[in-house]
Amino acid sequence: MFFCACFTAKPIANPNKTTTKMAKYVLEYLWLDGYTPVPNIRGKSQVKEFASFPKLEQLPEWGFDGSSTQQAPGGSSDCVLKPVAIYPDTTRRNGAIVMCEVMMPDGTPHPSNARATILDDEGAWFGFEQEYFLVQDGKPLGFPQDGYPAPQGPYYCGVGYKNVGDIARTIVNEHLDLCIDAGINHEGINAEVAKGQWEFQIFGKGSKSAADQIWVARYLLNRLCEKYGIDVDYHCKPIKGDWNGSGMHANFSTAYLREKGGKAYFEALMAKFAENVAEHIAVYGPDNHLRLTGLHETQSIDKFSYGVADRGASIRVPHSFVKDGKYQGYLEDRRPNSQGDPYQIASRILKTISEVPLP
């Protein structure tokens, strides 16, 4: 009898209950520091256990030393990292990249947190065209140690060693794969007008998505280049003279622009952009006067203009926009430069749009 009681007291396994096997995930938390006029991307890793690739809601907040990033005084240095987007990182076993907003300990956005200033709008879409130079030993790839390579002309979408060198294409293709693996809405790449200059394009639906993805794509590019001993120069005019600068054209649309539009609304919108030139230029990246000269497919920094298919205008209006007199679709603001913070750029564009009453 005694034996029997002992036997029945043992817990009976529930056949419906499956045991979850936990695995360790390496989470790279990214955030923007407090440097001005443009922030830098920072990242650090933490290891956490999950049953499967974590969802955003499962990610804990984390902290960092804001006194090392120009975001807090040493005496009260803790800043909070609030996860806002997660991407797989195939370069690491069970790896993930976690884009974060920087918050104050009381839960309000840190003053450096430009993402928090972007109006929430699911109907807002952005497409950014990020241009940049790959540099080694202080020179764009393919520039001789003294002097200059052959003038611009053959490099744009060029092929062959004399046009793109021996390593750049390996890097940009690897970067493209990394972005696609991360689920980034990467749209394509091209060799640009200057030697050593490249572009990638990223598109996102929702007011913050494309900007998040640009920052993660910049991070992936910078990190990838480490192993080649190469740096990415995002400055908008790294080489003086007859060499193209780097931009980050901001293509944008709202649900109203795509679905209703119309000439009167478009003209009211452009009048509002014209009123806010200084406010826009203030967040379109540093040293933009060196790039927006009126040459090299740009408008001068002190002028505002728009035009159909006009690459010398501040805002280029695609042919598709004016087709059949509809004034519907997206517009391209050509002024933002390669070093601009896409959060600040998206925030300003949507603010100006919000100041125009809908008919």
Q: Which does 343 bind (CB under 5 to 8 A by kind): ligand ADP, Mn ion, none?
A: none
Q: Which two tokens stand for residue 51?
A: 């049953």
Q: Which two tokens stand for residue 322?
A: 């004016």
In 3D, which of 253, 273, 255, 264 has the Cα closest to residue 318? 253
Q: Is 284 helix (H, G, I), strand (E, B) or coil?
A: coil
Candidates 171-179, 252-260, 300-308, 343-351; binding stretch for ligand ADP (CB under 6 A): 252-260
**CB nearer to ligand ADP: pick between 108 and 354:** 354
> Which residues neighbour 284 within 8 Å (Cβ) at sequence distance 6 or greater?
335, 336, 337, 340, 345
Residues 169-198 that bind ligand ADP (CB under 6 A): 187
212 in contact with Mn ion (CB under 5 A)? no
Pick the binder of ligand ADP from 330, 351, 352, 356 (CB under 6 A).
330
Helices then strands, counting H and E runs in the chain, come out as 9, 14
In the shown chain, the binding pattern of residues 149 to 188 toward Mn ion, with x for contact by CB under 5 A and - for none, equals ----------------------------------------
Q: How far is the CB of 116 from ligand ADP (least distance, A)?
A: 22
Q: Which does 187 bind (CB under 5 to 8 A by kind): ligand ADP, Mn ion, none?
A: ligand ADP
249 in contact with Mn ion (CB under 5 A)? yes
Q: How far is the CB of 336 from ligand ADP (least distance, A)?
A: 12
- The residue type of 15 is P
Q: Is 23 helix (H, G, I), strand (E, B) or coil?
A: strand
337 in contact with ligand ADP (CB under 6 A)? no
**Sequence-distant contacts of 24-27: CB under 8 A, at least 24 apart:** 24/48, 24/49, 24/94, 25/49, 25/50, 25/53, 25/54, 25/94, 25/95, 25/96, 26/89, 26/92, 26/93, 26/94, 26/95, 26/96, 27/54, 27/59, 27/96, 27/98
333 in contact with Mn ion (CB under 5 A)? no
- The residue type of 306 is Y
**CB nearer to Mn ion: pick between 112 and 251:** 251
Q: Which does 127 bind (CB under 5 to 8 A by kind): Mn ion, ligand ADP, none?
A: ligand ADP
Candidates 166-174, 233-241, 246-254, 301-309; binding stretch for ligand ADP (CB under 6 A): 246-254
Please state, in angstroms and rounded to a whole number, the distance separating the CA atoms of residues 296 and 314. Answer: 13
129 in contact with Mn ion (CB under 5 A)? yes
In the shown chain, the binding pattern of residues 75 to 114 toward Mn ion, with x for contact by CB under 5 A and - for none, equals ----------------------------------------
Pick the binder of Mn ion from 101, 199, 233, 333 (CB under 5 A).
199
Please state, in angstroms and rounded to a whole number, the distance separating the CA atoms of residues 327 and 258. Answer: 9
In the shown chain, the binding pattern of residues 196 to 215 toward ligand ADP, with x for contact by CB under 6 A and - for none, equals -----x-x------------
In this structure, are residues 269 and 353 in contact, taking their beta carbons and an 8 Å threshold?
A: yes
33 in contact with ligand ADP (CB under 6 A)? no
In this structure, are residues 82 and 103 in contact, taking their beta carbons and an 8 Å threshold?
A: yes
253 in contact with ligand ADP (CB under 6 A)? yes
In the shown chain, the binding pattern of residues 70 to 109 toward ligand ADP, with x for contact by CB under 6 A and - for none, equals ----------------------------------------
Buried residues in 165-194 as b, exposed as e (16+ CB within 10 A): beebeebbebbbebbeebebbbeebbbbbb
- The residue type of 56 is L
In 3D, which of 40, 214, 36 has the Cα closest to residue 131? 214
Q: How far is the CB of 241 from ligand ADP (least distance, A)?
A: 23
Interface with ligand ADP: number of residues (CB under 6 A): 15
**CB nearer to ligand ADP: pick between 249 and 348:** 249
Please state, in angstroms and rounded to a whole number, the distance separating the CA atoms of residues 96 and 23. Answer: 13
β 95-103/78-89 pair status: antiparallel
Binding site for ligand ADP (CB under 6 A): 125-127, 129, 187, 201, 203, 249, 251-253, 258, 329-330, 332
Binding site for Mn ion (CB under 5 A): 129, 199, 249
